[in-house]
Amino acid sequence: MNFLLTDEQDMIRKMVRDFAKNEVEPTAEERDEEERFDREIFDKMAELGLTGIPWPEEYGGIGADYVSYCIAVEELSRVCASTGVTLSAHTSLAGWPVYKFGTEDQKQKFLRPMAEGKKIGAYGLTEPGSGSDAARMKTTAILDGDHYVLNGSKIFITNGGIADIYIVFAVTDPEARHKGTTAFIVEADTPGFSVGKKEKKLGIRSSPTTEIIFEDCRVPKENMLGSEGEGFKVAMMTLDGGRNGIAAQAVGIAQGALDAAVGYAKERKQFGKPIGAQQGIGFKLADMATKIEASRLLTYQAAWRESEGISYGKESAMSKLFAGDTAMDVTVEAVQVFGGYGYTKDYPVERYMRDAKITQIYEGTNEIQRLVISKMLLAD
């Protein structure tokens, strides 16, 4: 067993860390304040190959492994969780299902431009009436000649409005419940597709989250992803990997908060010495660092399993659960280390705390992760 990163993984970490420090961090606070997505940052990520890390070169990617991909999401999230999730949703939720279930034509037409960063991807599963109970979706897709006609709406769509390609799940056979669900690739310029309400959020504010609406939206038959009735499986398998991307985001947020807290604990003096040298704060930092390291190991392990072709659904539910809870705990503690200053916008820790909360909610709440893990334990 070897816990060292490979040369390639190490190189990717250094590259993304530099990029994050120089190109992402300087505007993170301002973009959060203004709720502004910056396409230029995404384009620069594309130039570095970050928009297609795990996809083979024949599909426009750089052919690295899922650990490298998690490292990239982690390093971006360490300075800006919004940029981290933009990449995570684009790669895990939109690129992955096309890579896994797409035909060769679909891969060339949709995966390649996403991998090259020419197009942005998104994933539409959640509806107003079906969040955790995803199988109860109401959006319909009815076959009419060479097209499926989609009607309905999806909410809480990460990359909504900025994406060019949406992976959408709709009911093709209402009698068959989850076995009557089908996945589609919907291009943003398809007539009948529109972007609805943009959410105003507590955190990840420079990552747009919107509703998407389908009104007699005619999607060509050849854009069906996988086979008819296979959509729920596509959705669930996509989330298996997506959840580990969110775990990586959570690790990055927590690490960013710890970095800030350690820096402050060395500088800030009270009672005649740095607050970090006082056990109340020193022990807090130790607990934060330990939880982050455990989260990172769970995340890299799940990513490594995926790269090796070993089952990883349970492991990525565990990594998302543990890392999401860790990000929340650690960021709350980071604010505490900063005291009154931590509660102000003069320091980034309040942003980290706001950003951390979503990692316990999206891509399946942490209660759903416990459900997934316990079902697998009991099925063994």
Concatenated DSSP letters of 269-335 = EETTEEGGGSHHHHHHHHHHHHHHHHHHHHHHHHHHHHHHT---HHHHHHHHHHHHHHHHHHHHHHH
The residue sitting closest to ligand CAA, measured at its beta carbon, is 364
φ, ψ of residue 269 to 5 degrees: the values are: -110, 135
Instruction: Report the C-alpha gap between 197 and 210 in whole angstroms.
Output: 6
Which residue lies nearer to ligand CAA by CB, 236 or 297? 236
Which residue lies nearer to ligand CAA by CB, 252 or 342? 252
Which residue lies nearer to ligand CAA by CB, 54 or 342? 54
Which residues are identified as catalytic?
Answer: 363
Instruction: Report the C-alpha gap between 322 and 44 in whole angstroms.
Output: 31
Judged by the rule CB under 6 A, the positions of this chain that interact with ligand CAA are 89, 93, 123, 125-126, 132-135, 156-158, 178, 232-233, 236-237, 239-240, 313, 362-364, 368, 371-372
Residue 48 Cβ vs ligand CAA, minimum distance, rounded to whole Å:
23
Residue 130 Cβ vs ligand CAA, minimum distance, rounded to whole Å:
9
Q: Are 51 and 45 in contact (CB under 8 A)?
A: yes
> Helices 349-357 & 81-88, crossing angle to 10 degrees?
30
- Bridge partners for 194 per DSSP: 213
List b or e across 207-230, with b for residues whose CB sees 16 or more CB atoms inside 10 angstroms: bbbbbbbbeebbbeeebbbbebeb
Instruction: Report the C-alpha gap between 288 and 247 in whole angstroms.
Output: 16
Residue 285 Cβ vs ligand CAA, minimum distance, rounded to whole Å:
31
Residue 317 Cβ vs ligand CAA, minimum distance, rounded to whole Å:
9
Which residue lies nearer to ligand CAA by CB, 79 or 372? 372
**The pairing of beta strand 121-124 with beta strand 165-171:** parallel
Which residue lies nearer to ligand CAA by CB, 127 or 333? 127
Residue 255 Cβ vs ligand CAA, minimum distance, rounded to whole Å:
21
